[in-house]
């Protein structure tokens, strides 16, 4: 469902028999509205957290929240992760990459 299709809310009235499509349309409307709000007012990037540290060739990413270029929120709620040992890979210098 494209953005233009989701700009209309499902019409509700007392006594209306709700179908799964009505509920999906409503959810899609609010998802698109939220994304449009984020794109228009906030742009994209890191909102909070997501600190990246490199220690002895290990990359760690802390919990946090970011917005992607489509306005979707991306969150990391878990404890910090260590991705992998990057020392000596593909021309990357060993040790601290933050020089």
CA distances from 53 to 50, 67, 82 (A): 10, 20, 9
Determine the average pLDDT of the residues in 65-91: 73
In this prediction the pTM is 0.56
- Provide the residue ranges of all domains of the chain, joining segments of one domain with +: 1-42, 44-89
Tokens representing 61 are: 């990413």
For residue 96, is pLDDT > 50?
Answer: no
The pLDDT value given to residue 1 = 44
pLDDT score at 60: 80
pLDDT level of residue 97 (50, 70, 90 thresholds): very low
Contact (CB, 8 A) for 64 and 78: no
Would you say how long the chain is, in residues?
Answer: 99
């Amino acid at each position: 469902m494209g953005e233009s299709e989701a700009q209309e809310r499902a019409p509700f009235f007392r006594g209306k028999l709700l179908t799964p499509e009505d509920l999906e349309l409503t959810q899609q409307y609010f998802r698109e509205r939220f994304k449009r709000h984020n794109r228009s007012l906030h742009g994209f990037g890191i909102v909070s957290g997501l600190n990246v540290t490199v220690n002895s060739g290990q990359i760690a990413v802390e919990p946090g929240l970011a917005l992607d270029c489509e306005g979707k929120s991306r969150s990391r709620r878990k404890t910090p992760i260590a991705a992998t040992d990057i020392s000596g890979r593909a021309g990357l210098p060993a040790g601290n990459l933050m020089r």
